[in-house]
């Protein structure tokens, strides 16, 4: 990760590969020259333009380009794990606040082992861990609390006990990795459970209230700390306990 | 004639900005030029009210709040100025049926408030990660009674000016031949075409300097975050 | 998303469970205030207060007006707070809830009715000209306990403010430009500071100082005590909620006394730092 080129909206991106820039002959459009644009980039007339601020990334194997920046407002994307709060119950399912512009739909039967006769009954205010299955700009998102291919919960479902808090989407994405410095440091000191929603909501639970608070605050504090600072911060918190 | 604060005619006041200092807003920024200071919070894309939602794009709403007293028609005018400047540059079609709400709070107004409002909005939208076609930066000029033209006038200079002019430009150098024209123009008072053109050129250069300043600030924040996530 | 969504069930349950053990979800003790930062300036009468994640801006300004006919020798003090959606999505002023009105009224009462500002010192020519002092409080970020943050911001801005100097020449009042003659501070009798407590549990037997937004959403009652640096009580406010015992009020008063001294010291430091 040598490149840390920061782009701003409106910046034109030079997507030519290094060897291309030396060649003068016109580039033939084939599979090798097709570039794929990820988040933060659009094609405006002939040029590739950034639309959000962040670090420009590219993968030379797939020729994919994208911009990585931090945000706080979630925009749903298929396959992503999210932590949501049930805000209403309708005939066909629950409406769940996942922090995106529109509430997500959670069908009544989208749980492990749920049948028409036997299905979970969630109260308004219940916290659920789910996976986004429908996400596009014209429809409300939809989530489910099991893997519909295997029929197993795979860790998704109602989150009872414990505590939930919000963080930036950038931090949430870092926490998805179990090797995230703050989680690794905490894990070596105290046992706890964690469910990370990439929508910037994190649920934690430990054997007692004090430990849960400690874990929650350590994760919240890690927003602007690097790996070394994380370990130091966790160490100090654990010593205080 | 030298300026009361001893600036050169084309010199901006000391610029200052910070990003993301508010917790509730999805994006926020503070921008100041000398004593003129504004703070902005952006929410979006959030759910639009049913009666105002658009099926094919996001609705952009701007609220401008004065430092002293309740909002007046002058502030309503500022809201429509900022909204019309940004509405077409936000990629609203990416988030249909949603709302992008921009709230601007004037902390203190000492001249060139409209350009400060546009500049802070750019920063707050970037902080919120709202997709934009370009950055927008603005600058104000005043033609004084002795025919000199000054950039980034204070309120004292504006009160004594024959005319004032604010221009906002899309990022990309406005001096280049392929540049787009200004996105926002506001000229008040009595002036000649030559004076107008001169102000245009001065504001274009000043807006470029504001953009360079913002770029440094945003780069600083992004690089800091990138370093942490790479570690 | 338009209406403010309350806390989830597990947040509320966890908060109460933690309180039973005497701890709070942000790691504070029950009598701990969040980190308080006050900054004044650059212009006179501008103060910004950060109380944890709560942020409030206060702006004091003045102009010369005619006095009210029934009070010809007193200046006028105007107080204005408005919620904008900057502090939290949907917190608009035009559909303010009763809670928001209560916050505004409380802070206004504390500043105006406790006669913190010497209104007679604002008189220029009796029956003709007085100063109208305006206090605008802007809520920038709502992280709970807006009352305390707003009262601190308002007091800091008032103490930091300077008005143009005036000299009287017979029947003529000359208002000196601030560049001609040094502006003068307001005459302030005392500085009332609000200290707010939140109560929890069916009997309200658990209390915390300086509740956060989450705590405010879960609490069953709140109590605000307003004290000045002379250790005098200026206002008490308990707007509904479950009944509290006199013992609890006593206990709160003791805690508040210590806090008010700390806050006044911080205001003093902020004013000193800006000059």
Cα C21 from Cα C10, distance rounded (Å): 17
pLDDT at res. C1: 35
- B141 shares contact with chain A (CB less than 8 Å): no
The full set of domain ranges for chain C reads 9-15+24-274
A1 part of a folded domain: no
| Arithmetic mean of pLDDT, B141-163 | 96
Alpha-helix residue ranges (DSSP H) falling in chain C: 9-20, 98-112, 146-160, 213-218, 246-274
Q: Are C45 and C161 in contact (CB under 8 A)?
A: yes
Query: CA–CA distance from A23 to each of A16, A17, A47, A142, B186 (Å)?
Result: 10, 10, 19, 48, 47
Among candidates B94, C252, B192, which has minimal Cα distance to A41? B94
Taking only the tens place, the pLDDT of each residue in B45-65 is 999 988 999 999 999 999 999
Chain C residues closer than 8 Å to A209 by CB = 14, 17-18, 21, 23
Among candidates C227, C190, C62, which has minimal Cα distance to C116? C190
Give pLDDT < 70 ranges for chain C: 1-5, 92-97
Angle at A67 (CA atoms; ends A62, A72), nearest 5 degrees: 135
Q: Name the CATH superfamily housing domain B15-230.
A: GHMP Kinase, N-terminal domain (3.30.230.70)
Beta strands in chain B (DSSP E): 15-19, 27-33, 36-47, 59-65, 98-108, 136-144, 149-151, 161-170, 184-189
C56 beta partners: C49, C139
pLDDT at res. B181: 81
Total domain count for chain A? 3
CATH of the domain at A134: 2.40.50.140
Query: What DSSP letter does each residue of C126-162 carry, written as one string?
Result: TTTEEEEEEEEEEEEE-SS-HHHHHHHHHHHHHHH-E
Of the candidates B22, B40, B65, the beta carbon closest to that of C55 is on B22
Q: Could you give the ipTM of this predicted complex?
A: 0.92
pLDDT at res. B199: 96
pLDDT at res. A17: 63
- Mark whether A234 and A207 lie in a shared domain: yes
Among candidates C24, C36, C33, which has minimal Cα distance to C258? C33
Of the candidates B46, B68, B101, the beta carbon closest to that of C134 is on B68
A76 part of a folded domain: no
Contacting chains of B (3 CB pairs or more, <8 Å) are A, C
Of the candidates A11, A73, A137, the beta carbon closest to that of B44 is on A73
Query: Which DSSP letter does residue A40 get?
Result: T
A74 part of a folded domain: no
Q: Looking at the domain covering C9-15+24-274, what would its CATH class be?
A: alpha beta
Is this structure's pTM higher than 0.80?
yes
A58 part of a folded domain: yes
Grade residue A2 by pLDDT with cuts at 50, 70 and 90.
very low
Cα C11 from Cα C17, distance rounded (Å): 10
What is the separation of C-alpha B107 from the centre of its chain, rounded to a whole number of angstroms? Answer: 15
Do the chains contact at B24 and C134, CB–CB below 8 Å? no
Do the chains contact at A160 and C10, CB–CB below 8 Å? yes
Question: Could you list the residue range(s) of the whole structural domain that residue A105 is in?
Answer: 81-159
- pLDDT of residue B176 exceeding 70, the answer is no
Which residue, among A72, A173, A175, A222, would best test binding to B if mutated, counting the most B CBs under 10 Å from its CB? A72
- Mark whether A50 and A102 lie in a shared domain: no
- Mark whether A204 and A172 lie in a shared domain: yes
Of the candidates C1, C84, C143, the beta carbon closest to that of B65 is on C84
Chain A residues closer than 8 Å to B230 by CB = 1
Q: Are B58 and B47 in contact (CB under 8 A)?
A: no
**CA terminus-to-terminus distance, chain C:** 44
Chain A residues closer than 8 Å to B223 by CB = 4, 6, 55
- pLDDT of residue A32 exceeding 80, the answer is no
Do the chains contact at C10 and A161, CB–CB below 8 Å? yes
Which residue, among B132, B172, B227, B228, would best test binding to A if mutated, counting the most A CBs under 10 Å from its CB? B228
pLDDT at res. B86: 97
- A103 shares contact with chain C (CB less than 8 Å): yes
- Mark whether A18 and A55 lie in a shared domain: yes
A178 part of a folded domain: yes
pLDDT at res. A3: 61
Percentages helix, strand, coil for chain A (3-state, rounded to 5) are 20, 30, 50
The full set of domain ranges for chain B reads 15-230
- Mark whether A106 and A92 lie in a shared domain: yes
C-beta atoms surrounding A199 within 10 Å: 25
Q: Are B169 and B204 in contact (CB under 8 A)?
A: yes
**CA terminus-to-terminus distance, chain B:** 55
Taking only the tens place, the pLDDT of each residue in C82-96 is 788 888 887 765 555
Taking only the tens place, the pLDDT of each residue in A47-82 is 899 999 999 999 888 889 999 999 999 999 999 999
Do the chains contact at A55 and B222, CB–CB below 8 Å? yes
- pLDDT of residue A1 exceeding 70, the answer is no
pLDDT at res. A241: 75
Return residues 43-72 of B near A (CB < 8 Å): 43-47
């Amino acid at each position: 990760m040598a490149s840390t080129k920061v782009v701003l909206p409106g910046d034109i991106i030079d997507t030519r590969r290094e060897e291309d820039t030396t060649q003068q002959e016109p580039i033939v459009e084939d599979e090798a020259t097709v570039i794929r644009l990820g988040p933060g980039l659009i094609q405006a007339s002939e040029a590739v333009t950034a639309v959000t601020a962040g670090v420009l990334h590219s993968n030379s194997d797939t020729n994919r380009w994208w911009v990585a920046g931090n945000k706080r407002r979630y925009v749903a994307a298929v396959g992503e794990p999210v932590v949501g709060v049930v805000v209403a119950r309708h005939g066909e399912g629950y409406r769940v606040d996942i922090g995106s512009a529109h509430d997500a739909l959670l069908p009544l039967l989208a749980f492990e082992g749920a049948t028409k006769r036997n299905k979970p009954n969630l109260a308004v205010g219940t916290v659920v861990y789910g996976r986004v299955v429908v996400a596009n700009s014209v429809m409300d998102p939809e989530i489910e609390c099991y893997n519909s291919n295997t029929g197993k919960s795979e860790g998704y479902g109602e989150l009872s006990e414990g505590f939930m808090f919000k963080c930036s989407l950038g931090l949430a994405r870092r926490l998805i990795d179990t090797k995230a410095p703050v989680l690794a440091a905490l894990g070596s000191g105290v046992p706890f459970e964690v469910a990370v929603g990439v929508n910037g909501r994190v649920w934690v639970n430990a054997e007692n209230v004090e430990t849960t608070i400690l874990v929650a605050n350590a994760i919240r504090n890690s927003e602007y700390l690097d790996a070394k600072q994380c370990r130091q911060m966790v160490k100090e918190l654990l010593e205080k306990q | 004639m030298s300026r009361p604060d001893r600036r050169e005619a084309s010199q901006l006041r000391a610029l200052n900005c910070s990003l993301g200092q508010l917790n509730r807003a999805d994006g926020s920024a503070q921008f100041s030029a000398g004593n003129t200071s504004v703070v902005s919070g952006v929410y979006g894309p959030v759910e639009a009210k049913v009666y105002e939602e658009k099926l094919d794009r996001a609705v952009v709403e701007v609220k401008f709040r004065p430092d002293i007293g309740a909002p007046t028609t002058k502030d309503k005018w500022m809201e429509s100025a900022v909204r019309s400047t940004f509405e077409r540059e936000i990629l609203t079609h990416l988030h249909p049926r949603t709302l992008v709400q921009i709230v601007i709070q004037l902390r203190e107004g000492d001249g060139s408030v409209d350009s400060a409002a546009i500049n802070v909005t750019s920063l707050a939208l970037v902080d919120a990660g709202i997709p934009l076609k370009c950055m927008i930066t603005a600058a104000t000029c005043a033609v004084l009674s002795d025919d000199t033209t000054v950039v980034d006038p204070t309120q004292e200079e504006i009160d004594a000016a024959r005319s004032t002019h604010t221009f906002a430009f899309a990022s990309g150098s406005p001096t280049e031949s392929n540049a787009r024209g200004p996105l926002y123009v506001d000229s008040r008072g009595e002036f000649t075409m030559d004076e107008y053109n001169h102000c245009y050129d001065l504001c274009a250069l000043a807006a470029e300097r504001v953009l360079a300043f913002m770029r440094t600030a945003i780069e600083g924040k992004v690089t800091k975050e990138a370093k942490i996530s790479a570690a | 998303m338009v209406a403010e969504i309350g806390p989830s069930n597990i947040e509320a349950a966890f908060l109460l469970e933690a309180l039973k053990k005497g701890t709070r979800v942000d790691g504070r003790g029950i009598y701990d205030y969040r980190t308080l930062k006050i900054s004044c300036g650059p212009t006179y009468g501008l103060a910004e207060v950060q109380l944890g994640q709560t942020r409030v801006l206060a702006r004091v300004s003045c102009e010369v007006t005619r006095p009210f006919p029934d009070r010809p020798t007193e200046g006028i003090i105007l107080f204005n707070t408005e919620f904008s959606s900057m502090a939290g999505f949907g917190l608009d002023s035009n559909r303010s809830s009763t809670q928001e009105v209560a916050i505004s009224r409380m802070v206004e009462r504390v500043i105006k009715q406790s006669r913190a500002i010497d209104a007679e010192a604002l008189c220029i020519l009796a029956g003709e000209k007085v100063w109208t002092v305006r206090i605008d409080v802007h809520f920038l970020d709502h992280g709970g306990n807006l009352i305390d943050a707003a009262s601190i911001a308002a007091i800091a801005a008032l103490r930091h403010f300077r008005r143009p100097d005036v000299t009287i020449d017979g029947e003529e009042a000359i208002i000196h430009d601030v560049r001609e003659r040094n502006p003068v501070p307001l005459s302030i009798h005392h500085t009332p500071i609000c200290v707010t407590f939140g109560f929890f549990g069916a009997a309200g037997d658990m209390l915390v100082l300086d509740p956060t937004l989450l705590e405010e959403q879960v609490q069953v009652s709140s109590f605000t005590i307003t004290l000045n640096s002379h250790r005098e009580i200026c206002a008490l406010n308990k707007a509904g909620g479950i009944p509290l015992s006199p013992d609890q009020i006593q206990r709160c008063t003791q805690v508040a006394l210590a806090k008010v001294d700390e806050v006044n010291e911080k205001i003093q430091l902020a004013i000193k730092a800006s000059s």
